[in-house]
């Protein structure tokens, strides 16, 4: 990771855990931050689409399909250059820099409070490919051969399945996106908050 701007990916609950949060600013990676998370600027290209979040909650898609949808979406954003250093930014215009932290509301691996995997665990490889150094849950990652993520300073592949994620399955029933949740770009976040939805990544 030498020379790469380093982003820290973790939970707000790990604020005092050494190595989990960087020395820079904190940015929120959830779709609709809760009251205690709103002091931090939300990063549009770091959270999942609302439709997928609600679809998996309602059991309309599987976790494997949810992962596939997230990866398809972030792949498009990666191709557009929106995840790159100097381009990844918050909704209020703050551009992320090395030393900054992207936090979610999910519990860390191994926590008794953890009920589901965190989207940052499948988001991290996209940041590596975009040109960031990544510290995930206090452990550094690096980009290896064929754009594969590895644990830094080791030959150990990083695999989100170790953190509870299923293998990716991008197959979604025809028309499900449009019939279930409708358009996602520019969705009204304020309305989501009023309904108490979209609080988790």
* 121-125, 128-132, 196-200: least confidently modelled range: 196-200
**pLDDT value of residue 2:** 58
The arithmetic mean of pLDDT across residues 55-69, rounded, is: 88
Q: Of 69-78, 85-94, 99-108, 190-199, which range is least confident?
A: 190-199
Specify whether the CB–CB gap between 108 and 40 falls below 8 A.
Answer: no
User: For residue 201, what pLDDT is reported?
Assistant: 41
d(CA 165, CA 116): 9
| Distance from C-alpha of 187 to C-alpha of 9, rounded to nearest angstrom | 25
Give the 3-state secondary structure of residue 58: coil
Task: Give the highest mean pLDDT range of 47-61, 82-96, 147-161, 185-199.
Answer: 82-96
Is a pLDDT exceeding 70 seen at residue 3? yes
199 three-class SS: coil
Quick one: what percent of the chain has pLDDT higher than 70? 80
Specify the range with the lowest mean pLDDT, choosing from 35-49, 117-131, 141-155. 35-49
The confidence score (pLDDT) of residue 89 equals 94
Q: Can you tell me the mean pLDDT for 115-132? A: 92
Per-residue tokens: 173:
């029933």
Q: Is the pLDDT of residue 169 over 70?
A: no
pLDDT(177) > 60: no
Q: What average pLDDT score do residues 153-165 get?
A: 87
The count of residues in the chain is 201
DSSP 82-93: TTSTTT-BBTTS
**Comparison of pLDDT for 127 and 172, the residue scoring more:** 127
30, 49 Cβ separation under 8 angstroms: no
């Amino acid at each position: 990771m030498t020379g790469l701007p380093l982003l820290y990916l973790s939970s707000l609950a790990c604020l005092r855990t050494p190595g989990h949060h960087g020395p820079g600013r904190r940015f929120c990676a959830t779709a609709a931050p809760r009251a205690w998370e709103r002091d931090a600027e939300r990063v549009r290209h770091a959270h999942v689409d609302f439709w997928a979040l609600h679809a998996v909650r309602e059991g309309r898609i599987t976790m494997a399909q949810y992962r596939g949808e997230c990866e398809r979406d972030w792949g498009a954003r990666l191709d557009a250059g929106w995840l790159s250093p100097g381009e990844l930014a918050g909704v209020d215009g703050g551009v992320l820099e090395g030393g900054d932290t992207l936090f979610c509301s999910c519990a860390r691996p191994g926590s008794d409070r953890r009920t589901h995997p965190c989207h940052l665990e499948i988001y991290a490889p996209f940041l590596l490919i975009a040109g960031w150094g990544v510290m995930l849950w206090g452990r550094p990652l690096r980009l290896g051969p064929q754009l594969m993520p590895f644990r830094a300073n080791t030959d150990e592949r990083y695999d989100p399945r170790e953190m509870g994620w299923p293998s990716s399955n991008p197959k979604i029933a025809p028309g499900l996106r449009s019939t279930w949740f409708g358009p996602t770009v520019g969705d009204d976040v304020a309305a989501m908050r009023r309904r108490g939805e979209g609080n988790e990544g």
